[in-house]
A and B are shown apart, each in its own frame.
Chain A
Amino acid sequence: MRPQDILLPAVAGLCCKPGGFHIDPVRPVERAVITHGHSDHARAGHGAVLATQETLDMMRLRYGENFAGSTQAIGYGEEIRLGDVTVKFHPAGHVLGSAQIAVTCKDTCIVASGDYKDAPDPTCTPFELVTCDVFITEATFGLPVFRHGDASDEVKKLLASVALFPERAHLVGAYSLGKAQRVIALLRQAGYDAPIYLHGAMEKITGYYQSRGIDLGELRPVLGMKKAALAGTITLAPPSATSDLWTRRFPDPVTAFASGWMRVRARARQRGIELPLVISDHADWDGLTATIAATGAGEIWVTHGQEDALVHWCKSRGLRAQPLDLVGYGDEEESETPFQDEAEA
């Protein structure tokens, strides 16, 4: 059986005809299988949704109780038969509950990895390598300039700045699902035990992480704090808030941003970031290429991000590779247009 008879890009997203479902559909469909809870992958309005318990919970938090007609939870390592195919979930290491979805039909196995990273993350199950015939990879950081290094070194940089400027507040922009909790957990790992402050938009999802048994230490809402009391503190906020009027409640804030994009100076400057922290929930170039090689797949499909470079790399290694033109994840024409696609990086 040809792989494209199993999975094919369609308007609504990656469509599995023999199984009768879409993966991460961007439009309402009858049956959706969802990799993780970020809003561009997990949308409301589908008939039936299959996802991990955490992903379903996050969708509920975001869209309310009636986000789908019906839901079914599936655990890592569990297998389910849908139509003529079997579907199995494996951890993707991207955020809490994120999964790669292995779709097998007869003797062909395709892994749709969603967003993934192979770097350690104290807030989610580590990435699991799944051997397959066709590997569908993201390419958010699909250029060799993106090498993310050790996230704990970046957190040390943040703590060094807090020590150098004790009279200033440190504002860390971080996507509210996943990145924020990871940064907090890394700060705790580095021995920072003071209360960490949260922007209102982060409270709900961070509370959910804590309810799943992830220890984040003492967290406080920043709302209602006196300006002077915020000197020397660390506050986590959605990236858009760090350039907002909202920041005026802080004493001479140092604006940090935790993102893989911070590897490139121009990106940090465009956003007026003073302390770029290269912390990414996506695989970097070395992670992407190492993972692709290790899956043993002979054919690679590349989605959202810098497809060209990764496709070129695959071909130079003798792998069949093609970009999958899926729309709706990030930006249409140039993924570098700021303020839209970066939110999750």
Chain B
Amino acid sequence: MNRFAELLDRLAYEPGRNNKLRLITGYFREVGDPDRGYALAALTGALSFKHAKPALIRDLIASRTDEVLFGLSYDYVGDLSETVALMWPRRVPGHGESFPGHPSNHNNPPPPTLTEVVTTLRTLGKTELPKQLERWLDELDETGRWALLKLVTGALRIGISARLAKTAAAALGDKDPHEVELIWPGLAPPYLDLFAWLEGRGEKPVNRDPAPFRPVMLAHAIEDSDFAALDPADYIAEWKWDGIRVQAVAGRDERGHITARLYSRTGEDITGSFPDLVPSLRLPGAIDGELLILREGRVQSFNVLQQRLNRKVVSPKLIKAFPIHLRAYDLLGDDENDLRELPFAERRERLEAFIAKLDDPRIDLSPTVPFASWEALTAARADPASAGAGEDADAVEGVMLKRRDAPYLPGRPKGQWWKWKRDPHIIDAVLMYAQRGHGKRSSYYSDYTFGVWTEGDAGDELVPVGKAYFGFTDEELLQIDRFVRRNTTEKFGPVRHVVHEGDKGLVLEVAFEGLQRSPRHKSGVAMRFPRISRLRWDKPPREADRLETLEKMLKAEAAQAEV
């Protein structure tokens, strides 16, 4: 576990992709089975066990340390697992308290291996967990404790993609990462067969899953400056729908029965949430498409779709009120045939034939957007309604550009797919409160509550309309942090009230994707995906936007959602 923790620690600081790969491959080479297999599972998000609640960790540290000292430390470090890992006072059996960092007694039990941790967690009862964690915390070093706590609380964010981890594994045997991707769905931790093959000790594992997930291909956001180098003739354009990217797969098992599954873009099986779509997946194949809600043939807004997400119980009433729909834009597999090596233009033809053959009201084709020049596409993107999207135009959040000759490549390959979003909504709001960030921003005031003007009892007053904690550059963060520290009017715990008057304060240009009514907010509105797009040092707060502006936007959105 300590060695794995050391790898995670180093990966967390290393920005370069190739250097990350070298670190991971080095680990696979140095560490044997089954530890490296569980490491690969952890890096690819393939481990599953019941996670411990942060409250449990708090109880453990409370039993060993002074409450005030813990409070001060947590406030300083800003991360629960890290605070506990650093200040945990080791207790060695029979030796009372000793301190981490000082050489411990040679009679100590050895620290647990990653395998021991993972396999124990899988079977451990809830009541045994605290005692077991305590033992491990006593045995591990600072970094080991940090990784353990991140792992058991399910907060292990390593900053590398599953793809990168698989690429590092492939490098162990000089294999093409694509080969690993293809067999991956049939593999399970600790991947003994995979490592045997990579090290030339065994046969290549075979993927026997009838309806496997295929790693998705992602697009880069296009910048204005990119167009100069691109030829419109090389690309096919489609609408970018404001729904959820899914992969719908159907295949025949050994007895010839159809198995159908719906996967999220990360490969999570979400079939259970959408039983109403399963009967429509009756032709063997793999569709890449967008999950939407359709009412009377019209695509509903994301706000509507959201009502169907993350539901534990999918009631018949919910299914009826929010009829699910799949809009297809790519075909990765057609019966037994893997189409991913084919150019997109060919896959598109196969897709059109597949959807026609399927002939199902719940699954349709995402239309292409014809264009001859970037000017024409710009016009279509500005006005999707008259460019073919018709009544569904409100559910279009931009256009997608796909190279005609692009094979379906996992990850985000350069220059193949582009997304070109419509311009977001923008308002000018006034910074009202600031709070320190967590993690790497724990010493900066990086979480901002902002407000707009509204008529109050005593004239105009600011009402908070949202919170944002990104969108700004590092340099801007320093500037806002400085502004907050110099213009604090009051402090409430971690929250600072920042001066916000008609002629004193900071105006933030806030960009966001949509608006919703929200009884939880005093203003009655909630923003989707708000972020700081610019700092308006030039603008006096009194010239910031008013709540009425938001209400107008809300009416436009609501009109579409309530149909």
Chain A positions near chain B (C-beta within 8 angstroms): 143-150, 164-165, 252, 263-270, 272-276, 284, 286, 306, 308-309, 312-313, 316, 333-334, 336-338
Contacts of A312 in B (CB 8 A): 66, 68-69, 72
Which of A147, A165, A275, A334 contacts B101 (CB under 8 A)?
Answer: A147
Contact assessment for B13 and A268 in the assembled complex, using a CB-CB cutoff below 8 Å: yes
Could you tell me the distance in whole angstroms from the C-beta of B442 to the nearest C-beta in chain A?
5
Q: Interface size class for chain B?
A: 35 or more
Q: Which chain B residues in 433-450 approach chain A with CB under 8 Å?
A: 439-444
Nearest residue, chain A, Cβ from B15: A274
Q: Does B2 contact A (CB under 8 A)?
A: no
Could you tell me the distance in whole angstroms from the C-beta of A146 to the nearest C-beta in chain B?
8
Once A144-B69, A147-B99, A150-B101 are accepted as A-B contacts, the answer to whether A263 and B86 lie under 8 Å apart by CB is: yes
Which of B10, B26, B73, B444 contacts A309 (CB under 8 A)?
Answer: B73
Which of B26, B68, B72, B79 contacts A265 (CB under 8 A)?
Answer: B79
Which of B14, B76, B100 contacts A143 (CB under 8 A)?
Answer: B76
Which of A144, A273, A333 contacts B13 (CB under 8 A)?
Answer: A273
A-B contact pairs, 8 of them (CB 8 A): A149-B100, A265-B12, A272-B15, A284-B101, A312-B72, A313-B69, A316-B66, A336-B76
Contacts of B416 in A (CB 8 A): none
Query: What is the CA–CA distance of A272 and B16 in the complex, to the nearest angstrom?
Result: 12
Query: What is the CA–CA distance of A269 and B99 in the complex, to the nearest angstrom?
Result: 26
Q: 19 new A-B pairs (CB below 8 Å) besides A263-B142, A286-B102?
A: A144-B65, A145-B77, A145-B82, A146-B86, A164-B23, A263-B86, A264-B76, A264-B86, A266-B442, A269-B12, A270-B440, A270-B441, A274-B15, A284-B101, A306-B72, A309-B72, A313-B66, A313-B69, A338-B443
Chain B positions near chain A (C-beta within 8 angstroms): 10, 12-16, 19, 22-23, 26, 65-66, 68-69, 72-73, 76-79, 82-83, 86-87, 99-102, 142, 439-444, 485
Contacts of A148 in B (CB 8 A): 101
Could you tell me the distance in whole angstroms from the C-beta of B79 to the nearest C-beta in chain A?
7
Query: What is the CA–CA distance of A337 and B444 in the complex, to the nearest angstrom?
Result: 8
The dominant DSSP class at the A interface is loop
Contact assessment for B72 and A143 in the assembled complex, using a CB-CB cutoff below 8 Å: yes
Query: What is the CA–CA distance of A275 and B12 in the complex, to the nearest angstrom?
Result: 10
Contacts of A143 in B (CB 8 A): 69, 72-73, 76, 87
Specify which of A143, A150, A165, A306 lies most central, judged by the most chain B CB atoms within 10 Å of its CB.
A143
Query: What is the CA–CA distance of A165 and B82 in the complex, to the nearest angstrom?
Result: 28
Could you tell me the distance in whole angstroms from the C-beta of B165 to the nearest C-beta in chain A?
18
Query: What is the CA–CA distance of A334 and B78 in the complex, to the nearest angstrom?
Result: 15
Contacts of A267 in B (CB 8 A): 443
Contact assessment for B69 and A274 in the assembled complex, using a CB-CB cutoff below 8 Å: no
Could you tell me the distance in whole angstroms from the C-beta of B69 to the nearest C-beta in chain A?
5
Contacts of A286 in B (CB 8 A): 99, 101-102
Could you tell me the distance in whole angstroms from the C-beta of A12 to the nearest C-beta in chain B?
26
Query: What is the CA–CA distance of A316 and B72 in the complex, to the nearest angstrom?
Result: 15
Contacts of B82 in A (CB 8 A): 145, 264-265
Contact assessment for B19 and A275 in the assembled complex, using a CB-CB cutoff below 8 Å: no
Contact assessment for B73 and A145 in the assembled complex, using a CB-CB cutoff below 8 Å: yes
Contacts of A149 in B (CB 8 A): 100-101, 142
Contact assessment for A144 and B87 in the assembled complex, using a CB-CB cutoff below 8 Å: yes
Nearest residue, chain B, Cβ from A276: B13
Query: What is the CA–CA distance of A263 and B85 in the complex, to the nearest angstrom?
Result: 11
Query: What is the CA–CA distance of A286 and B87 in the complex, to the nearest angstrom?
Result: 11
Contacts of B23 in A (CB 8 A): 164
Contacts of B69 in A (CB 8 A): 143-144, 309, 312-313
Contact assessment for A266 and B443 in the assembled complex, using a CB-CB cutoff below 8 Å: yes
Could you tell me the distance in whole angstroms from the C-beta of A290 to the nearest C-beta in chain B?
9
Could you tell me the distance in whole angstroms from the C-beta of B415 to the nearest C-beta in chain A?
24
Contacts of A275 in B (CB 8 A): 10, 13
